[in-house]
Amino acid sequence: MIMRWLKNNILPFIARHSSTTGLIRYAGADLIFPFYHTVSDEYLPHIHPLYRPKTTKEFYEDLDLLLKYFQPVDIDTVYSHCSGIKTIVRPSFHLSFDDGLRGIYDIVTPILYKKGIPFTVFVNSDFVDNRNLFFRHREALEVQSIDPDAFLNEKRPYLSTVQLKEMQRKGVHIGAHSTDHAHYNFLEEKQQISRTLESCAFVKKVFEQKLTTFAFPFTDTGISDSFFEAVYPVVDLTFGISGIYFRHNGRHIGRIDMEKYGCNARECINKALLVKKYRQIWNSSK
């Protein structure tokens, strides 16, 4: 309760008035993982009722700040670092995008390719090629009296296999994000494991990559140790949300929500660095 109050009331104020360089040293953060869903200058009826994506201007500003304090690294470097094969010596970041949305192909990939920033896109196997619609996107459309099935067929809001393979040729890593973006806290562990492994098998078969990665839909809170024991023979790295952390021998990695964690990149990063340090202090005081 106290930690939550600090996160919501005190840390945002400190984050707005702190030096990012100083906080990187203070928190001991050598590798961070910012993530987004999409970038858009237009109103997206399936997205905006749920959260506001960054505009291209805001995204460029975020990238400028990230590149000022961190160097971009690819997923292979992340794996080498987390496995203890090769240590990252400079503050670094790996960018990722969830849900496999069309804007990642149309807007994000050209920007990041031009800037030389590698990234990962986590896709839901049921949504690739616009075979189905995420239930939250469906609900957002229905509230606006938009026919969800017509929207899916006409607007094609998710990435296609062809688009993903084109992105892959440009250095983009494709990860799994479950089959249908269910809330894992509402599933039995057997279902959590099956949906994870099914989505990872899809990505591995279609994209034939060296590494298999998985990002939890919604949240990784409450996931049992036995879940990780079941999936790690198949999955190399798993990703959660809610800040900066490494668990399960470095194989489970926390990410920073750049759309909800703060008003801009500086506030997002600074708050995440502060939360990391205060978690360390809080845990050591128990």
In sequence order, what DSSP letters do the residues of 185-219 get, joined into one string? GGS-HHHHHHHHHHHHHHHHHHH--S--EEE-SS-
Per-residue pLDDT reduced to its tens digit, 131-169: 999 999 999 999 999 999 999 999 999 999 999 999 999
What is the biggest distance separating any 2 CA atoms in the chain, rounded to whole angstroms? 56
165 near 198, Cβ under 8 Å?
Answer: no
| pTM, full prediction | 0.93
236 near 201, Cβ under 8 Å?
Answer: no
Per-residue pLDDT reduced to its tens digit, 229-286: 999 999 999 999 989 999 999 999 999 999 975 578 998 999 899 888 877 765 654 4
Token reading at 181: 């973006």
Span 2-285 CATH architecture: Alpha-Beta Barrel (3.20)
Q: Which residues contact 234 (CB under 8 A, 6 or more apart)?
A: 197, 200, 201, 212
Q: Residue 125: which of 30, 210, 24, 198 has the closest Cα?
A: 198
